[in-house]
Chain A
Amino acid sequence: MILIKAFLIIIVGALLLIPFLKVAGKGIVVFLAIVLNAALTSYFAVLTLMGEKFEFILPGSIISDVIPIRIDALSGWFMLIINLVFITGSFYGLFYMKEYREQKSKISVHAIALLLLHGALLGICVIQNSFAFLIAWEIMALSAFMLVIFENEKMATIKAGLNYLIQSHISIVFLMLGFMWVRFKTGSYDFSAITAYSSENPLIAILLFLCFFVTFAIKAGIVPMHTWLPYAHPAAPAHISGIMSGVIIKIGIFGILRMLLLIKLDYTTIGYIILFFSVVSGLYGVMLAIIQHNLKKLLAYHSIENIGIIGMGIGIGCIGLGSNNAILANLGFAAAMLHTLNHALFKSLLFYTAGNVYQATHTVDVEHLGGLVKKMPQTALLFLIAAIAICGIPPFNGFISEFLLYTGLYHWLQDANLFSLIVIGFSILGLVLIGGLAMLCFTKAFGVVFLGNPRKEFRHEIKEPPFLQLLPLYLITLIIIAIGVFPKLFINLLLQPVLLFTSNSFPATNTLQYNQDVLQQISWGMWGLIGIITLVFLLRKWALSKSKVSIEPTWACSYTAPTPKLQYTANSFVRSYRKLFRPFLMLSKNKKEIHGIFPSKVHYKSVTYDKLEKWFVDSPIKAIKSLLSRFQFLQNGNLQFYILYGIIFIVSIICIPLIYEKFLDFIDFLKQL
């Protein structure tokens, strides 16, 4: 109880302090406040992962009833992820924001919003009163909006921010609908009322779950509710992009998992629904990521892909619960939650390194970059590690969670009927294609941005950021490698969160034991791989030390030293892919070809758009607009008319009740007749 008060006091104290400090002070205060709060909450989180549970009852107010704060292992796991990303993100942000020091007021707002976001996210993890939950949710949405529109002098940023704000409020509508429904029927704001109410009738349970699912799917960016995500991520400053991708969209995943715990429903059906949406999200996300030329937008689409992978884990877990398959349920939920952590790690690392690139070159258009590995070797190495990890390739962490997912799917094969076999087939196909396409995407991203020759001359010097700025990035890398080579350790941490889901259905089986041996073997495999690489590398070093090594220009079949423009660009790298996947993509070209003996300047530009966005967002909006435009005559810009509307409004407000009374009298009169 005291600790909760301390938590609130830290936030409020820092908020009051921030406006009165100098710019450097604001950053440090926010960072310290986040670290303090993180330490405070991680204490509970770690205890919950050991198997404890906490429950505090806050008095609340007349409107909100009592506010129960319940911290279980699921909250604990997500709180740890939130804290990790926030500590690294705000530390990185201290350095990233240095260039914006002059804009003091903006920095203040930014700092306040960051702190509020941290508090709100942690609150969402533990609050179990729908009224307070909504407030925390709204604080999160608004503060994230303020963080996104930091560079609000740019039109694109404001547009992206508004897009995010509107879509997140659409999600809040569904959330409110769900909560109000339960409140109306049971008269309680407590989350336990949701469980009680939903167990009455399976149909209600499914409808209620779908209501919440839409909310959290919009937040998580599950296709086709993803359209805000590719705009908001690139518009935000790098550390905010990392936090958004690492944590904010994960709170959607948390919501889905929480509702699965609260609502007792037909898990199999829900599992298939989630699995379907997830496979589609995964494939669609990566398919669009490949054709993006904006590095941060590319990463944003990859977030959609990874949410798809996490969702597949949840779907499989649900199906395991529904079909009484203990191992399947365990593998599914473990894969989902481990991938949540993994994605938070490598995606925030990717966004931070992209931030380094932006800081050094002032552009994130990959077609203008190239050869950065020589100027920024550390950033390049960090990006490379994260890129390999996100493709799910050993010896890094992405492999472990994808492996659990594959193992789940292959385990499910053994006792499946025809329908589920086909589902498994397509899920495996989807997962494999996601892996392959991710590799295509990240070889492109890394190769074009960091390798080869620079495609454009920059007037300013390009240099590596200072070591302190890279420190959080190294920390993340360390965890990425640790999960890769000691997977057993991290799976053991997941024991309690997974048991929350499975212990009701399978009380006796202590389940993650199933993979202990396998993960031990993988661990050996990873070490073996690293060992062989080291061995061969030393051998090579020894062999080269004896012979002559020279450095020459690139040979390229004796087309020596051409201009950098002859290099493969990002666009040409994916040309054959683009042609093959044309039905799913929306591309438009803007080009001028060579004509005549003395050709004038030519250009080629390709623009990509999101097909689903056109179908699900643009077209409906167009329809609504054309409907509403018929009433445009009302808004004619004439002041007299507006005054007239006002008068009509006032008169009708006064008259309608009177007329209504007269009307009732008249009815009475008729009745008397």
Chain B
Amino acid sequence: MLSFALIFIAAIFFSGIISRTKSIFSGRKGPGIMQPIKDIIRLFRKGAVYSQTSSFVFQIAPTIYFSSVVMAMLIVPFGQSKGLISFNGDFIFFAYVLALGKFFSIISALDTGSSFGGMGASREALYSMFAEPAFFILIGSLALLTGHSSFQEIFSALHLGSYITYALAILATFVLLMIAMIENSRMPIDDPKTHLELTMIHEVMILENSGFDLGLILSAGCLKFAIYGALIVNLFIGIFPYEYTIPLFFITQFLIAITIGTIESFMARFRMGHNAQFIFALTSVSLLIFFGALLILGKFI
């Protein structure tokens, strides 16, 4: 339950910090840190416009998307404290619940009958498919390393003893960070601020959403960032007491947000055609972690 509250708090500030970082780097004054949340609250109060073409799928999709993210949030642990739901193989449930949300966001984009929606849906379906193996292999290697198979047990048993484990944790951080960027459609993969809808993935899918639904989608995005941030924090905190880990949690989330802001300021988006290769390359980084785990366990003869 602790993790739920922490992630929730972190999510409030996360996208604000990203846009603040970007504005500082580009020399603008920029909006305040709370601006994204204010936007979302404003959206929750607004009326909505629905397309004539759309059906019940379009109506329920944002709800399911948001709920799936909240459900995933309930599974994430924090150090020793378990998530609300925790069992052997809970990370499988985590990934597949998120997939439920993705499924609905893809078909709701197709529901409007616009070519933009189809474009975004097609790309999202392909890229999210490629991102999944990286996550499963990553958690698989951590499971192998620790001998457990639930989030909480894996993270609390992850001893950062030797140098190789540090290297592994850093690689794992990289993979998780990149998955977070893909899941949220941020810079190296997707550019939410591009001037042309033809070049977007996520933003073009939610073109037709408005009002409460758009608010749900945006807040789900913030939560997703904080969820992956929490997973990264969990790689490092292990069994330390709470008085250290809670500040550490916020510091790490803050650093991640700044990193994302920095990447977005200094990097251009990949060409669409190269995205798939890049995302699949993440899987090979995960495989590297897998072999690292084998090395530590002495499975190589």
Q: Determine if B110 and A448 form an interchain contact, defined as CB atoms under 8 angstroms apart.
A: yes
Contact A555 B208 (CB under 8 A): yes
Shortest CB-to-CB span from A335 to chain B, Å, is 12
* Chain A residue nearest in CB terms to B58: A451
Contact with B along A557-595 (1 / 0, CB 8 A): 101001010111000111111011000000000000000
Which of A392, A428, A517 has a CB less than 8 Å from the CB of B140?
Answer: A428
B287: chain A residues at CB < 8 Å are: 425
Are the C-beta atoms of B113 and A557 separated by less than 8 Å? no
Q: Which residues of chain B in 54-95 are interfacial with respect to chain A, using CB atoms and an 8 Å cutoff?
A: 54-57, 60, 62-64, 66-68, 70-71, 74-75, 84-90, 92-93
Q: Is B126 an interface residue (CB 8 A)?
A: yes
Cβ of B119 < 8 Å from any Cβ of A? yes
Q: Give the interface centre of A393, A446, A448 by most chain B CB atoms within 10 Å.
A: A393
Contact across chains for A439 and B125 when beta carbons are under 8 A apart: yes
Query: Known contacts A413-B144, A451-B107; is A575 also within 8 Å of B207 by CB?
Result: no
> Restricting to A418-457, which residues have a CB under 8 Å from any CB of B?
418, 421, 424-425, 428-429, 432-433, 435-437, 439-440, 442-444, 446-448, 450-453
Our pick among A429, A453, A550 for the contact of B47 (Cβ within 8 Å) is: A550
List chain A residues, Cβ under 8 A from B122. 568, 572-576
Given A429-B137, A557-B197, answer yes or no on A407-B113 (Cβ-Cβ < 8 Å): no
B199 to chain A, nearest CB (A): 13
Contact A440–B115 (Cβ < 8 Å): no
- With contacts A436-B128, A525-B71 taken as known, whether A573 is within 8 angstroms of B133 at the C-beta atoms is no
Q: Is the CB of A544 within 8 A of B113?
A: no
Which single residue of chain A is at the shortest CB-CB distance from B148? A414
Chain A hits for B130, CB < 8 A: 436
Contacts of A518 in B (CB 8 A): 87-89
Check A436–B213 contact: CB distance below 8 A: no
- Closest Cβ of chain B to A276, distance in Å, is 19
Complex: A406 Cα to B88 Cα, angstroms: 11
Interface pair B140/A568, CB less than 8 Å apart? no
Task: Give the complex CA separation of A518 and B272 in angstroms.
Answer: 41
Question: Out of B63, B112, B116, which one reaches A540, CB within 8 Å?
Answer: B63
Q: Which of B66, B89, B99, B118 is within 8 Å of A410, CB to CB?
A: B89
* Known interface pairs A414-B147, A551-B52; A532-B71 also in contact (CB < 8 Å): yes
Q: Please state if A536 and B116 are interface contacts (CB–CB under 8 Å).
A: no
* Separation of A159 and B49 alpha carbons in the complex (Å): 51
Q: What class of interface size applies to chain A in its complex with B?
A: 35 or more
A521 part of interface (Cβ distance < 8 Å): yes
Least CB separation from A453: chain B residue: B113
Residue on B with the closest CB to A395? Answer: B100
- Interface residue B186 (Cβ < 8 Å from any Cβ of A): no
Q: Is A53 positioned at the interface, with any CB of B under 8 Å from its CB?
A: no
Cβ < 8 Å to B, chain A residues 578-624: 579-580
Interface size on B (CB < 8 Å)? Answer: 86
Partner pick for A388 among B45, B93, B103, CB 8 A cutoff:
B103
Least CB distance from A350 to B in Å reads 15
Measured between alpha carbons, how far is A522 from B96 in the docked complex, in Å?
12
B126 and A536 within 8 A (CB): no
Chain A residues, CB < 8 A from B86:
521
Q: List B residues 286-301 near A (Cβ within 8 Å).
A: 287, 290, 294, 299-301
- Among A141-149, A235-243, A369-377, the stretch that binds chain B is A369-377
* Cβ B114 vs Cβ A559 within 8 A: yes
Q: Is A13 an interface residue (CB 8 A)?
A: no
Q: How far is the CB of A124 from chain B (nearest CB, A)?
A: 35
Residues of B within 8 A of A440 (CB): 125-126, 129
Q: Is A554 in contact with chain B by the CB < 8 A criterion?
A: yes
Say whether, besides A393-B100, A429-B283, A529-B67, A373 and B55 are in contact (CB < 8 Å).
Answer: yes
Contact code string B20-59 (vs A, CB < 8 Å = 1, else 0): 0000000000000000000000001111111111111100
Give, as a whole number of angstroms, the nearest-CB distance from B94 to chain A.
Answer: 10
Residue on A nearest B75 in the bound complex, by CB: A525
- Pair A556/B93 contact, Cβ less than 8 Å: no
Question: 8 tightest CB-CB pairs across the interface, nearest first?
Answer: A568-B118, A436-B129, A447-B110, A556-B114, A548-B47, A452-B113, A521-B87, A547-B47
24 A-B pairs whose Cβ atoms sit less than 8 Å apart in the complex: A370-B113, A384-B107, A388-B103, A410-B140, A414-B144, A414-B147, A425-B287, A425-B290, A429-B133, A432-B133, A435-B132, A439-B102, A536-B70, A540-B63, A543-B44, A543-B212, A549-B48, A552-B51, A555-B51, A555-B114, A559-B114, A573-B121, A573-B122, A580-B276
Q: What is the interface of chain A, defined by CB distance below 8 A to chain B?
A: 370-371, 373-374, 377, 380-381, 384, 388, 391-395, 399, 402-403, 406-407, 410-411, 413-414, 417-418, 421, 424-425, 428-429, 432-433, 435-437, 439-440, 442-444, 446-448, 450-453, 517-518, 521-522, 524-525, 528-529, 532-533, 535-537, 540, 543-544, 547-557, 559, 562, 564, 566-568, 572-577, 579-580
Q: What 14 additional pairs, Cβ within 8 angstroms, besides A448-B110, A551-B49? A: A373-B56, A402-B96, A403-B89, A425-B287, A429-B137, A436-B130, A436-B132, A439-B106, A447-B106, A447-B107, A447-B110, A549-B48, A556-B114, A576-B272
